[in-house]
């Protein structure tokens, strides 16, 4: 192995340490059994304590909530739905939507930037033309694609954080697409979470799946179709320009 290859490998390993930290953080979360605190039973047992804390320390409560959401998103933990519902229960649907969107966007951007700097350039260099063709197509309509991917959860949230980084999407487009694209879904869950207090007080069970009714799913699909219209328009316009 020549000196250049050795230096290249060392450089690659050095650039991977931020991703390794995220993986270690996620592993510690489960190893320390911290997921036991993110349940409806824990919320039911501590709801009065949480409500009192928010009423007495509104600013700190908001910062803690946003911080938890940033960490949850960056580490790709399965806590987003519960946090969204709890946020709406504590802050109200509108305010919680704002806090949640901010936290989720920051967390997603952290993953995106780490993936982009750690693996993006190396992956594009090794895959050659195949990824480059995908990259060119995605870049041409990056914002529309980002909005569709965020509006309709066809893929896990963390996957949509990574793929745009590998396809060369600009950070500004990623942030805008993520921020705007997650607002509708976040607001729907926040509306459901706003009534969580009465459910907990009555000792009833709550199912997060019940939030996504056929009507809500249909609305998301409609928004996604609207996001795709610019792409369709560009393709039709390109065909007309090529026609004799």
| Lowest model confidence (mean pLDDT) among 31-45, 101-115, 129-143, 211-225 | 211-225
User: What are phi and psi for residue 81, nearest 5 degrees?
Assistant: -60, -50
Q: Is the confidence at residue 124, as pLDDT, over 70?
A: no
pLDDT grade, residue 175 (50/70/90)? very high
Structure tokens at 150: 């965020």
pLDDT grade, residue 235 (50/70/90)? low
pLDDT at 12: 55
| Closest to 151 in 3D by CA, of 141, 140, 143, 162 | 143
| C-alpha–C-alpha distance, residues 228 and 145, integer Å | 7
Contact 208, 83 (CB under 8 A): no
pLDDT at 174: 93
pLDDT at 40: 80
| Closest to 88 in 3D by CA, of 123, 43, 138 | 43
Average pLDDT over residues 45-65: 93
- Whole-model pTM: value is 0.77
Average pLDDT over residues 174-189: 89
pLDDT at 232: 58
| Lowest model confidence (mean pLDDT) among 56-65, 171-180, 204-213 | 204-213
Average pLDDT over residues 127-151: 69
Sign of the four-CA dihedral 54, 58, 59, 60? negative
Q: Is the confidence at residue 64, as pLDDT, over 90?
A: yes
pLDDT at 72: 95
């Amino acid at each position: 192995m020549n000196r250049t290859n050795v230096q290249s490998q060392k450089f690659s390993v050095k650039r991977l340490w931020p991703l390794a930290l995220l993986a270690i953080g996620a592993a510690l979360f489960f190893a320390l059994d911290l997921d036991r605190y993110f349940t409806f039973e824990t919320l039911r047992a501590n709801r009065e304590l949480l409500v009192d804390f928010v009423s007495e320390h509104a600013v700190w409560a908001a910062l803690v909530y946003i911080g938890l959401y940033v960490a949850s998103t960056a580490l790709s933990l399965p806590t987003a739905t519960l946090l969204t519902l709890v946020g709406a229960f504590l802050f109200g649907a509108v305010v919680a939507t704002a806090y949640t969107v901010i936290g989720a966007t920051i967390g997603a951007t952290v993953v995106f930037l780490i993936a982009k700097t750690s693996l993006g350039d190396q992956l594009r260099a090794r895959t050659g033309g195949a990824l480059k063709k995908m990259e060119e197509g995605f870049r041409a309509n990056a914002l529309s694609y980002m909005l569709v991917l965020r509006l309709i959860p066809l893929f896990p949230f963390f996957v949509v954080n990574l793929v745009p980084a590998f396809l060369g999407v600009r950070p500004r487009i990623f942030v805008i697409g993520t921020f705007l694209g997650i607002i509708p879904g976040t607001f729907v869950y926040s509306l459901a979470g706003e009534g969580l207090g009465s459910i907990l007080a009555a000792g009833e069970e709550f199912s997060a799946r019940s939030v996504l009714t056929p009507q809500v799913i249909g609305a998301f699909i409609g928004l996604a179709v609207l996001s795709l219209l610019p792409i369709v328009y560009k393709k039709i316009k390109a065909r007309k320009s090529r026609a004799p």
